[in-house]
């Protein structure tokens, strides 16, 4: 085996004829915070439950700490888990909930009490030990669930959409807390989410999934800046997609114009297109990568008409028509740009689509 | 292309899930649960089926017994009689129950709460009691005999009235549930469109409780067609299927013919069962819609009209139950109307004496205790174990069978199965244990469904969480699931207790001289002409049930306060 703490090899899961997971292979290093990100129904929960042993995979193997755990029942594995519903035991107090797994380990009574107090402090609820879960707010309950999961010091922490039942403000706050706690404890953590912002802000590594397959694995920066597939590009952040034709390795044709582009093309795409020039492809660029101010280093300058402007606080989002392109393009400009260049509906701009910011995708 | 080169996942040899202790225990539990249901329902039913195609010597004779049955006009007549009684009773009960349930849930009529409690009265007595009471009211020496206009109460009239009385609370409860599940917004729109109240009733109310009505109808139909107490006491010469079974078995010792009639009695019960299942499925989909609860608003005319309409029903319930109590206290009807407790000196009469009453208490107590434990554990395994679909489905389906089996049929089936000298469980025969087992099996399904409903309401991830904390599932079952489901457990226990105390049909074939039961004593004393003591025993059973019910009510309040503190402590 390799040095990964958790290693998943060619995992498949079928529900009858339906393939929920297909050929999932993944390595997670010790202490890493990994997010499974994807739209609803893509198989995130299924994968998480397979790792936990709650619903076994149909095929494939899982190694944790070098040990093959593929077919072990959940109680023989080493993990703590937190669910979206909290799943706190309603008839037990907060302290009893946190102590639930400790009691079973034949820990001494006093030690249990110390550990519970310590954890109550960690989650910032030092005085709530004697309350019942229903007496706490949603965010507090989720913290208790987290404390219960880490009480037994598991090697792996699994979080299934732990924040999605909470309101926006609590969510933002708890996001940081979880991340901080994870860093402090150094526990390898997998969090399932369909919220890209959550994944981008918390994860060391993001696994983007769609229809039961992994689309891309990478750091938040990689996922955002170098999306491997069209799905990743459209799912994470905002992206303009424009139909274009491929001319050669570093040139594409958009409308009547030729754009230069860097060819860190994804290998697969490169192979086919190189052999087959002028293939129809998609050129993609993020709204914030379109430049309206540049000093001589412009690579692809195109005139554009401003169609619409939406004020979004610190920046404006504009809808533009590029010269010779039918699809509207969205671009974000800072308030400074808007003021200095007098950007308004009907204005004519000369925009730069920097070659190193262009993404090319197979059609 | 790349995929084809990697080792294809489907060819990798699949390894079995390793069996943990938890898993092994769960499999064991499921197997025990299935074995319990097989032994207590499936095998006895098989025994009765095979008995119906055997001759007295035990040889297989095909359908000979059935042909003999068809050729016997007095027997075949009972089918028509049973259907007539069941149909009439269903119509009477459903119309009255609809009226009452509507008044209770949709109006602010005066004395609503008192009436609501009174309506439940008949449920606490065996079906024999209203029949006995009718004898006192309209029988040969009845106080209100003149009301019968020369007709005899012994026969279809008496049976229909007694059974209507006895089934009434069941129907009211089902229809009230249906009425309370209606969306208030529908009524608001009807009002906004100036729909007349009558038209609203037919276009909004009726359609929305359609399934409740169907369900109530079939419950009443089944209760009626399978009941044996009322026709036995007040049926006179009017034979129905249930009394036929009893006569064939007890009177003529013709077990084969008893088995044949039992199999025939299974048909309407199975039909009702199928319809009920279908309705339940329909109703679930209705309930998932987000609905606004309906709060009745005071309306003088409507409230008083409904009150007046309900009065006859209230008067009947008070009259019939009151008559039974009065009759049990009268020293010697109709010659000495002085009140005394003479009729309660059961030890001075044939029929089992006070011993029978104590036996009944033990039997009902054990049934409630063991029944609740077994049924809830099995429901837990069905609902909360992961995987093992086949075993769980088998257990769940097995739990549904008893609903389709009339008590009398089950009792007879137990004779055939447990009295067989080749059966290793043979020594159970004649003990209190077999009465307990039979009663648990008889009332299994309703309790199972109650337990499943309660279990469905708790978080599905408790078992996953405890597995991750390495706490065995049975610890979580004990520390969390049981306490959280305590109200449902108490409901199941009280249901089993009340039914075990009052049941006649299932146990009438199974009691022995040592295990005489009070409900059977009512039957036997009535049979022997000791009607007043029979009434007294019936009243005693009813008072016991009411007492236990009150105790249950107090206990659940206490328990709720102690162990369910978390329920009321919303921040
Ligand atoms: N027990 C099951 N039987 C059949 N299909 C199932 C079962 N569990 C999940 N699926 C299917 O598998 C797919 C993946 O489900 P999963 O719960 O993993 O999605 P998810 O990515 O967690 O989605 P969400 O964000 O909605 O939680 C879904 O299409 C779902 O319908
Ligand atoms: Mg999910």
Q: Calculate mean pLDDT across residues B400-415.
A: 91
Split at pLDDT 50, 70, 90, the class of B566 is: low
A176 touches chain B (CB under 8 A): no
Confidence at residue A278, expressed as pLDDT on a 0 to 100 scale: 59
Q: How far is the CA of A37 from the centre of ligand 1 (A)?
A: 14
Phi, psi of A20, deg, nearest 5:
-85, -30
- Please name which of B527, B569, B543, B559 lies closest in space to residue B128, comparing C-alpha atoms: B527
Q: What is the mean pLDDT of residues A128-140?
A: 91
Neighbours of A70 (CB within 10 A): 22
Confidence of residue A185 (pLDDT cuts 50, 70, 90): very high
User: Which ligand sits closest to the CA of A43?
Assistant: 1
The finding on whether A15 has its CB within 6 A of some atom of ligand 1 is: yes
A90 closest CB neighbour out of B470, B566, B571 = B566
Choose which CATH entry (1.10.3720.10, 3.40.50.20, 3.40.50.620, 3.30.230.10) describes domain B27-71+343-571.
Answer: 1.10.3720.10
Mean pLDDT of B494-511: 92
Structural domains for chain A: 6-233 (3.40.50.300), 238-291+300-362 (2.40.50.100)
Provide ipTM, 2 decimals. Answer: 0.83
Q: Which of A29-33, A248-252, A254-258, B289-293 has the lowest mean pLDDT?
A: B289-293
Q: Which residues of A touch B12 (CB under 8 A)?
A: 10, 59-60
Q: What was the pLDDT predicted at A277? A: 54
pLDDT value at B16 more than 70: no
Phi, psi of A75 (to 5 degrees): -70, -10
Q: Report whether residue A297 contacts ligand 1, using a CB cutoff of 6 Å.
A: no
CB A43 less than 6 A from any atom of ligand 1: yes
Write b or e for each residue in B1-13: b if 16 or more Cβ atoms lie within 10 A of its Cβ, otherwise e. eeeeeeeebeeee
Interface residue of B10, B459, B461, B468 to substitute, partner A, most A CBs within 10 Å? B468
- Asked if B41 contacts B402 with a C-beta cutoff of 8 angstroms, the reply is yes
Q: How far apart are the first and last CA of chain A?
A: 38
Nearest to B18 among A11, A72, A158 (CB): A72
Give, for B227, the enclosing helix (H) or strand (E). none
Distance from residue A40's CA to the centre of ligand 2 (Å): 7
- Look at residue B273 in the predicted model and tell me its pLDDT: 79
Say whether pLDDT at B19 is over 80: no
Q: Hey, how many other C-beta atoms are within 10 angstroms of the C-beta on A138? A: 15
| Ligand 1 atom with minimal separation from the A15 CA | 4
In this prediction, residue B8 carries a pLDDT of: 43
The full DSSP string for B79-148 is HHHHHHHHHHHHHHHHHHHHHHHHHHHH---TTHHHHHHHHTGGGGS-THHHHHHHHHHHSTT-TTGGGG
Which of B325-362 are b and which e, b meaning 16 or more Cβ less than 10 Å from the residue's Cβ? bbbbbbeebeeeeeeeebbbebeebebbbebbbebbbb
What mean pLDDT do residues A170-189 have? 92
In degrees rounded to 5, what are phi and psi of residue A302?
-135, 135
Contact residues, A window 93-152, toward B, CB-based 8 Å cutoff: 100-101, 103-105, 132-137, 148-149, 151-152
**Cβ contact (<8 Å) for B9 and A70?**
no
Contact B14 A59 (CB under 8 A): yes
Please state which of the ranges A334-348, B76-90, B192-206, B477-491 shows the lowest mean pLDDT. B192-206
- Mean pLDDT (whole number) for B454-470: 90
Per-residue pLDDT, A247: 84
Distance from CA of B401 to the nearest CA of A (A): 29
Token pair for residue B414? 């137990």
What would the two tokens of residue A50 be?
């397979």
How far is it, in rounded angstroms, from Cα B524 to Cα B538? 12
Q: Domain-by-domain residue ranges, chain B?
A: 27-71+343-571
Q: Are B93 and B316 within 8 A, CB to CB?
A: no
pLDDT band at B283 (very low <50, low <70, confident <90, very high): low
Structure tokens belonging to residue A307: 């169609």
Measured distance CA(A258)–CA(A264) in Å, rounded: 18
Per-residue pLDDT at B10 exceeds 70: no
Which of B459, B472, B569 minimises the CB distance to A85? B459
Atom of ligand 1 nearest to the CA of A44: 21
Among A15, A16, A69, A91, the strongest candidate for a mutation testing the B interface, having the largest count of B CBs within 10 A, is A91
Which of A99-108, A299-308, A311-320, B361-370 shows the highest mean pLDDT? Answer: B361-370
Nearest residue on chain A to B571, alpha-carbon basis = A135
pLDDT at A276: 58
pLDDT at B364: 96
Average pLDDT score over residue span B57-74: 86
Q: Look at residue A190 and give its three-state secondary structure.
A: strand
- CB crowding A179-214: b at 16 or more within 10 Å, else e: bebbeeeebbbbbbbbbbebbbebbbbbbbbbebbb
Task: Give the best-scoring range by mean pLDDT among A24-38, B19-33, B221-235, B261-275.
Answer: A24-38
Instruction: Place B562 in a pLDDT band, splitting at 50, 70 and 90.
Output: low
**Share of residues in chain B with pLDDT > 70 (%):** 93
Q: What residues form DSSP beta bridges with A82?
A: A159
Q: Are B466 and A100 inside 8 Å of each other by CB?
A: yes
Q: pLDDT tens, A222-265?
A: 999 999 999 999 999 999 999 998 888 788 888 888 888 876 54
Nearest CA to ligand 1 atom 12: A20
For the whole model, what pTM was predicted? 0.85
Cβ neighbors of B520 (< 8 A, separation 6 or more) are B352, B356, B504, B507, B508, B511
- pLDDT digits over A52-86, tens only? 999 889 999 999 999 999 999 898 899 999 998 88
pLDDT score, position A263: 62
Question: Is the CB of A41 within 6 Å of ligand 1?
Answer: yes
In terms of CA atoms, which chain B residue is nearest residue A85? Answer: B459
Most A CBs within 10 A among B458, B469, B489, hence the mutation to make, goes to: B469
């Amino acid at each position: 085996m390799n040095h990964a703490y958790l290693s998943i090899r060619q995992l498949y899961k079928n529900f009858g004829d339906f393939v929920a997971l297909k050929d999932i292979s993944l390595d997670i290093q010790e202490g890493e915070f990994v997010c499974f990100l994807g739209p609803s129904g893509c198989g995130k929960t299924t994968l998480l439950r397979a790792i936990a042993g709650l619903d076994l995979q149909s095929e494939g193997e899982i190694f944790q700490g070098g040990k093959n755990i593929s077919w072990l029942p959940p109680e023989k594995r080493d993990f703590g888990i937190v669910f979206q519903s909290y799943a706190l035991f309603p008839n037990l107090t907060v302290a009893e909930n946190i102590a639930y797994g400790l009691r079973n380990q034949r820990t001494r009574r006093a030690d249990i009490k110390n550990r519970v107090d310590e954890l109550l402090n960690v989650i910032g609820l030092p005085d709530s030990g004697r309350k019942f879960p229903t007496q706490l707010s949603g965010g507090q309950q989720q913290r208790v669930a987290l404390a219960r999961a880490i009480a037994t010091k598991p090697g792996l922490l699994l979080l299934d959409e732990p924040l999605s039942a909470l309101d926006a403000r609590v969510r933002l706050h708890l996001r940081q807390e979880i991340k901080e706690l994870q860093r402090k404890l150094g526990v390898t953590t997998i969090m399932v989410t369909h919220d890209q912002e959550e994944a981008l802000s918390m994860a060391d590594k993001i696994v983007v999934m769609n229809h039961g397959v992994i689309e891309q694995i990478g750091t938040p920066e990689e996922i955002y800046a170098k999306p491997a597939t069209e799905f990743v590009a459209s799912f994470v952040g905002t992206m303009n997609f424009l139909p274009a034709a491929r001319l050669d390795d570093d040139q594409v044709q958009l409308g009547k114009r030729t754009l230069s582009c860097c060819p860190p093309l994804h290998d697969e795409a490169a192979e086919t297109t190189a052999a087959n020039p002028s293939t129809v492809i998609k050129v993609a660029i993020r709204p914030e990568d379109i430049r309206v101010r540049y000093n001589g280093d412009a690579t692809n300058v195109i005139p554009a008409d401003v169609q619409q402007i939406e004020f979004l606080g610190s920046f404006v989002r504009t809808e533009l028509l590029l010269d010779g392109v039918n699809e509207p393009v969205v671009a974000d400009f800072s308030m400074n740009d808007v003021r200095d260049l007098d950007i308004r509906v009907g204005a004519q701009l000369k925009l730069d689509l920097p070659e190193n910011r262009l993404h090319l995708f197979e059609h | 292309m790349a995929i084809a080169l990697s080792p294809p996942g489907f060819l990798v040899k699949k390894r079995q899930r390793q069996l943990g202790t938890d898993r092994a225990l769960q499999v064991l539990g499921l197997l025990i649960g299935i074995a319990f249901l097989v032994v207590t329902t499936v095998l006895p039913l098989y025994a009765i089926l095979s008995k119906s195609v055997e001759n007295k010597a035990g040889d297989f004779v095909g359908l000979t017994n059935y042909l003999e049955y068809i050729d016997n006009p007095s027997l075949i007549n009972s089918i028509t009689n049973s259907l007539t009684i069941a149909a009439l009773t269903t119509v009477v009960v459903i119309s009255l129950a609809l009226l009452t349930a509507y008044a209770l849930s949709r109006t602010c009529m005066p004395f609503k709460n008192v009436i609501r409690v009174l309506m439940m009265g008949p449920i606490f007595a065996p079906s024999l009691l209203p029949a006995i009471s009718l004898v006192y009211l309209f029988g040969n020496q009845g106080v209100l005999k003149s009301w019968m206009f020369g007709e005899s109460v012994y026969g279809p009239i008496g049976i229909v009235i007694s059974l209507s009385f006895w089934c009434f609370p069941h129907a009211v409860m089902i229809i009230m549930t249906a009425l309370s599940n209606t969306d208030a917004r529908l009524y608001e729109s009807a009002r906004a469109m100036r729909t007349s109240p009558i038209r609203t009733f037919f276009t909004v109310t009726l359609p929305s409780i359609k399934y409740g009505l169907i369900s109530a109808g079939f419950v009443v139909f089944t209760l009626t067609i399978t009941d044996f107490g009322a026709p036995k006491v007040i049926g006179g010469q009017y034979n129905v299927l249930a009394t036929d079974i009893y006569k064939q078995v007890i009177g003529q010792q013709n077990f084969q013919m008893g088995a044949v009639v039992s199999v025939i009695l299974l048909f309407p019960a199975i039909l009702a069962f199928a319809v009920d299942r279908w309705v339940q499925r329909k109703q679930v989909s209705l309930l998932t819609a987000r609905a606004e609860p309906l709060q009745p608003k005071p309306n003088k005319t409507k409230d008083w009209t409904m009150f007046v309409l309900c009065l006859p029903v209230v008067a009947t319930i008070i009259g019939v139950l009151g008559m039974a109590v009065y009759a049990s206290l009268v020293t010697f009807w109709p010659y000495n109307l002085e009140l005394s407790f003479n009729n309660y000196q059961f030890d001075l009469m044939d029929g089992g004496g006070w011993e029978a009453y104590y036996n009944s208490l033990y039997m009902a107590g054990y049934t409630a205790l063991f029944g609740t434990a077994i049924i809830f554990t099995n429901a837990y395994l069905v609902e909360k174990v992961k995987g093992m679909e086949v075993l769980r489905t088998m257990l769940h389906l097995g739990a549904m069978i008893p609903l389709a089996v009339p008590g009398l049929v089950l009792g007879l089936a137990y004779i055939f199965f447990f009295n067989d000298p080749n059966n290793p469980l043979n020594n159970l025969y004649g003990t209190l244990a077999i009465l307990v087992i039979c009663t648990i099996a008889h009332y299994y399904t309703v309790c199972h469904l109650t337990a499943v409903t309660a279990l469905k309401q708790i978080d599905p991830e408790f078992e996953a969480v405890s597995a991750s904390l390495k706490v065995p599932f049975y610890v979580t079952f004990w520390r969390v699931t049981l306490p959280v489901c305590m109200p449902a457990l108490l409901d199941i226990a009280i249901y089993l207790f009340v039914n075990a105390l009052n049941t006649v049909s299932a146990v009438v074939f199974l009691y022995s001289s040592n295990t005489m039961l009070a409900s059977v004593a009512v039957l036997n004393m009535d049979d022997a002409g000791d009607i007043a003591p029979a009434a007294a025993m019936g009243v005693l059973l009813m008072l016991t049930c009411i007492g236990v019910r009150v105790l249950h009510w107090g206990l659940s309040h206490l328990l709720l306060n102690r162990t369910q503190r978390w329920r009321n402590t919303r921040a």
